[in-house]
Structure 1
């Protein structure tokens, strides 16, 4: 009976993963988010899911969740929780998310939130779950939703808070790969996806269902030799 933990499960990509794995009644799913929306609470798979209100940027909140599951083995952890780091004053009047994260409009509080949530919060949550993953009788996997914006080889500029937080997250995951060889890790860039992370649908964005469908084969086929890879939703490698 596989046990799956999914963060950022209150909406978007995380919730779509919950819906997918929830179709198999043999799965035990722990769904984490700091905000739960009504459409998720009323979803057809909600009865099969253990919902936990967890703020990944708050160590006490992470520890409370860890205490609730104890030493139970976890076979798959999909970490989808993140914040975009957009300046809310800009998003009130500008329809383009990119204009809310330029050099001129980045403010310290927004930058700090992105680093704390996307980097430190991710580290604390993954580290807390390592004993559970290592206790799995299967080949445990930790899949992290990252971004192509975290590539130092990027040629676009901007996205200072989000991009730098994802670059740091990539380092964290890569380090886990070396320090915890018993667990398979992968950093996957889902591409532009229409989620609550932005205030409008970005040009070229796809629906969460399509993004998850593309990523599932990568997750299912992940091997120990591939652990630590940084790829897009089609499985293509991204320069670090």
Structure 2
């Protein structure tokens, strides 16, 4: 029975991973959420799902003890093993995302924002990976996945002149390198580490007008340099493609930063 643990599952891509993976009754799915009690949509799905093969576990990327407790809980249920860890949890939308690095009037506020993104999106991923590594090493599939973003690509940033959201972008670049570090260390053990860009996925909340305007702007900016860019996609489409990739990727690709179809995320969108 393959086992999967996914972080950041209260909504969006993470919740879609849980729904998709739990469709197979042979899977055991662990839905990790920062605040399990308040994850209404997740809890309702798990409670009503016919296969009863999904478990909600609290895990806060900003709290080391919470992460360690989550790994311990999962290990008790699985007998000390896990096949796939999907690090999806991330800080993304922020009230000052429109500011560029030189636009902060208060340098202390710049410090605060950058460190908050780094703590959640980099250290949170590292602490989660470290906590679950003993389970992964005992599993059969042995795969650690990081859901990242092309916003962490230097080439994409320069090509599209995407100067906003510096904290999110730089934290994703750092998490990509963390994946490479793990891959270099654990390749001989056969553990696959992979950074996957899920595409431009419609996960932003708000009114239809606000959401449409947000994604229209993103699409326009990307297509200015990548005319064949497909545009924003649904979480369901993104997760389906990502799972196809996760299941077929081998140790030869470990450490790579790829699009959801497996192509090089630094080379094309």
Please indicate, yes or no, whether the TM-score normalized by the shorter chain is above 0.5.
yes
Tell me how many residue pairs correspond in the alignment. 229
> Which one has a bigger Cα radius of gyration?
2
Question: Which secondary structure state, in structure 1, belongs to the residue aligned with residue 57 of structure 2?
Answer: strand
Find the partner of 2:41 among 30, 39, 58.
39
Structure 2 equivalent of residue 53 of structure 1 = 58
Please provide the CA RMSD for this pair. 2.2
CA displacement at 1:45 relative to structure 2: 3.0
Q: Cα distance 1:216–1:68, how it changes in 2: closer, same or farther (>3 A)?
A: closer
Contact 1:85–1:113, Cα closer than 8 Å, also in 2: no
Written as runs of structure 1 = structure 2, the 5 A alignment for 1:136-215 is 136=139, 138-153=140-155, 154-155=157-158, 156=161, 157-181=163-187, 182=189, 183-196=191-204, 200-201=210-211, 202-203=215-216, 204-215=231-242
Q: Which whole-Å CA distance do the structure 2 matches of 1:25 and 1:134 have between them?
A: 24
Contact 1:85–1:114, Cα closer than 8 Å, also in 2: no
CA displacement at 1:64 relative to structure 2: 1.4
Q: Which whole-Å CA distance do the structure 1 matches of 2:68 and 2:85 have between them?
A: 16
Which stretch of the first structure deviates more once superposed, 111-120 or 28-37? 28-37
Q: Which whole-Å CA distance do the structure 1 matches of 2:235 and 2:93 have between them?
A: 20
Find the partner of 1:126 among 126, 129, 141.
129
Contact 1:187–1:230, Cα closer than 8 Å, also in 2: yes
Q: Which runs of 5+ in 1 are unaligned?
A: 91-98
Structure 2 equivalent of residue 93 of structure 1 = none
Q: Which runs of 5+ in 2 are unaligned?
A: 217-230
Q: Which whole-Å CA distance do the structure 1 matches of 2:205 and 2:245 have between them?
A: 23
